[in-house]
A and B are shown apart, each in its own frame.
Chain A
Amino acid sequence: MPKVRVYVTLKPSLLDSAGRTVRDSLDKLGFHEVASVRVGKLIELEVEQFSEGRVKEMCDKLLANPVIENYRFEEAE
């Protein structure tokens, strides 16, 4: 069955609280080279057949919120 990977990321202009917390924690572990962390979501779908239009509709209707998020997706093996 075809798999689809949907990547949902916070718009760059928005403060990412989770990303900031992860960055601070990495810094405490000695990874001082990390200037910034952004945390996003990976959503994996298994579909009967891959249709770009249908996946786009899923993203627009539920998987991402266009007010705060961007998304992209790809068919994966």
Chain B
Amino acid sequence: MNVAVLRFPGSNCDQDALCSLREDIGVGAQYVWHEEDALAGFDAVFVPGGFTYGDYLRCGAIASRSPIMDAVRRFAADGRPVIGVCNGFQVLCEAGLLPGALMQNASQKFVCDHIWLTVANRSSYWTRHVDRVLRIPIAHGEGRYVADEETLRRVEDEGRVAFRYSGPNGERDPRFNPNGSMDDIAGLVNEAGNVLGMMPHPERATKAILGGEDGRLILAGLSLVGA
């Protein structure tokens, strides 16, 4: 398993992702610059967080039009695993790989916290090992998931919501939703279930010293592919 960790101007969670994947998940990981146009030799793609292109125009908008994203589209269409975290989630939405968009938090504040995440559908590549409520860090100013009514209904009906913000026992309540996301959506997958976008940072929760290891349950699938 060799994971491509994409790097754009303004990515800043790329080192976290690389370390987490190599040291804690135990898979190979290499940086791939946004001007590359191929992903030969890679088995998965990690689109890290950050502030690509200074969030100019819209978060993730410019990065999503980079040459590497055409390669990611082909890669995803082949059914291979792609994960986008935080700004990476915004990039995947802007690239059209996931429906909807991420807007400024309803609170108008940047939130940096640990939240509870409840898995909404365990049948996707990324959620199949998640067997309990997770404690995962968030750090974002624009994480409010929005979609038009029809899209939201489709995403819900097709079981494509991967994670929802919740209480420690999976209870849903607006006070557990840190950004005002519709339907408490924290992460969702594409139709085939191989592309996941999520605002919380699983790669920041794979070592006890970081305050928790729950992120492993999401990234664990990577170490099992090809095994």
Contact = CB atoms under 8 A, between A and B. Distances in A.
Nearest to B93: A67
A17 B103 CA distance: 9
Interface in A43-77: 61-63, 65, 67-68
Nearest to A69: B58
A26 interface: no
A63 B57 contact: yes
Interface stretch (B13-21, B104-112, B170-178): B104-112
Interface in B183-198: none
Given A62-B57, A65-B94, A17 B104 contact: yes
A65 B102 CA distance: 11
Interface in B41-98: 57-58, 61, 65, 93-94
A18 B105 CA distance: 10
B106 A15 contact: yes
Contacts of B65: 61-62
Interface residues of B, number: 20
Interface string A21-61: 10000000000000000000000000000000000000001
Interface in B146-174: 146-148, 151
B94 A17 contact: no
A67 B64 CA distance: 15
A15 B142 CA distance: 13
B103 A14 contact: yes
A72 to B, nearest CB: 17
SS of B interface (majority): loop
A20 interface: yes
Contact of A67 (B106, B144, B146): B146
Nearest to A20: B108
A25 B147 CA distance: 29
B58 A65 contact: yes
Contact of B101 (A15, A20, A63, A67): A67
B180 interface: yes
B100 interface: yes
A51 B178 CA distance: 44
Interface of B: 57-58, 61, 65, 93-94, 99-101, 103-106, 108, 144, 146-148, 151, 180
15 contacts: A14-B103, A14-B146, A15-B106, A15-B144, A17-B104, A17-B108, A21-B108, A61-B65, A62-B57, A62-B61, A63-B57, A67-B93, A67-B101, A67-B148, A68-B146
